[in-house]
Amino acid sequence: LIRHLPDAKVTLFHVSTSVGRVNLLKSKFNVKSLLEEDAHQAIIRTEYKFKQEGLPFDLDVALGDPAEEIVRKAKREAYDLIIIGSRGLTVFKELLLGSVSQRVVHEVKCPVMIVK
Ligand X SMILES: Nc1ncnc2c1ncn2[C@@H]1O[C@H](COP(=O)(O)OP(=O)(O)OP(=O)(O)O)[C@@H](O)[C@H]1O
Four-point Cα dihedral 38, 40, 46, 48, nearest 10: -160
Q: Which residue from 9, 6, 13, 1 is spatially nearest to 69, judged by alpha carbons?
A: 13
Size of the site for ligand X (CB under 6 A): 14
Q: In this structure, are residues 116 and 88 in contact, taking their beta carbons and an 8 Å threshold? A: no
**Applying CB under 5 A, which of residues 8, 88, 105, 112 lies at the interface with Mg ion?**
88
**Restricting to residues 94-113, which ones interact with ligand X according to CB under 6 A?**
98-101
Does residue number 61 form part of the binding site for ligand X (CB under 6 A)?
Answer: no
Our finding on whether 43 is near Mg ion (CB under 5 A) is no
* Of 14, 34, 38, 71, the one binding ligand X by CB under 6 A: 14
Which residue among 1, 22, 89, 113 contacts ligand X (CB under 6 A)?
89
Which DSSP string do the residues of 10-70 spell out, in sequence order? -EEEEEES---HHHHHHTTT-HHHHHHHHHHHHSHHHHHHHHHHT---EEEEEES-HHHHH
Tell me, residue by residue from 15 to 54, as one string, x for binding to ligand X by CB under 6 A and - for no binding.
x---------------------------------------
Q: Which residues bind ligand X (CB under 6 A)?
A: 13-15, 66, 84-85, 87-90, 98-101
